[in-house]
Amino acid sequence: MSLKLVTNSRILSFFLLLNISLTSCLTLGSIEYLQDESDDKICFDEPEMEILRVKPYDDLFVQISSLDDVTSNVFTNTNAQQSMQMGSMSAYGASLISYTIDKDGYLNLPVIGKLHVDGRSLAEISKLIERELNNILNRPVVSVKLVNRYVSILGEVRNPGHFTYSQEKLTIYDALGLAGDMTNFGDRRQVILTRNKDGKNCRVCIDLTKSDVLASEYYFVRPNDMIYVKPMGRRFWGLDRFPYTVILSTVTVGLLMYTAINQ
């Protein structure tokens, strides 16, 4: 009878250890990006990036230069220009010397006055300002940049938050890099991206373990996007913090004592 009990205890211990191993360990497939069955080179055409068009309350940095340097300084602060060129201007500092599009879609500039820019691209706004300046400055050159480029990244990332960026093209992987990458318990198969498009808030689920994301229209992040990384199931149930080692040690000691007593 004693031998049978010991045998049953050993079987119980084996299955307990097996269960702990299966529930607590992360698989390589759950934390890898861009997974493919083949290691062969795979190429995708770069997704066409939608032209960015401004809207009310966007902040624009307008840089104007011409052969009449003194006159052009009326439009742009020289020190601010130098700071922006050297990359030393913070996003907050840039917003202080930028122009905000009003609720009706107008941009109010010195000397020129109000220009309707709602729905126009940055290149179109530059050309529009240049035409207005042709009778004021000698060969004006205008550069317009969007100041309020930011993305919010939440959920299972190491440093969630609100991030500004200056690149024209920022990929979803670049954005996650700003937040320190996902934690091991971030679900790479269910990354939620929300985007305001044509006045509607849209939600899409992206699988970052598939390489075809490189050709997706959501591969490039747009200003004001929000990225949410969902937690995996074991994170939700707290299995990553479950004291498996303590329980296993307790069970092992208990089984050893039970075996010793019944010998």
The 10s digit of each residue's pLDDT in 168-192 is 899 999 999 999 999 988 999 999 9
Estimate the crossing angle of helix 2-24 against helix 244-261, to 10 degrees: 170
Residue 54 within any structural domain of the chain: no
What was the pLDDT predicted at 88?
A: 44
Domain that holds residue 173: 31-49+149-231
Sign of the C-alpha dihedral computed for residues 19, 188, 161 and 81 taken in this order: positive
What predicted TM-score, i.e. pTM, was given to this entire model?
A: 0.71
pLDDT value for 136: 84
Nearest to 193 by CA among 219, 214, 167: 219
What pLDDT shows up at residue 86? 41
Give the span between the Cα atoms of 184 and 114, in whole angstroms: 51
Query: Residue 1's pLDDT is what?
Result: 47
Q: Are residues 90 and 153 in the same domain?
A: no
Separation between Cα atoms, residue 164 and residue 259, nearest integer Å: 63
Is residue 71 domain-shared with residue 104, that is, in the same domain?
Answer: yes
C-alpha dihedral sign at 200, 205, 209, 215:
negative
154 in the same domain as 139: no
Listed as ranges, residues in the chain with pLDDT below 50 are: 1, 5-6, 15, 22, 78-79, 82-89, 236-237
206 within some domain = yes
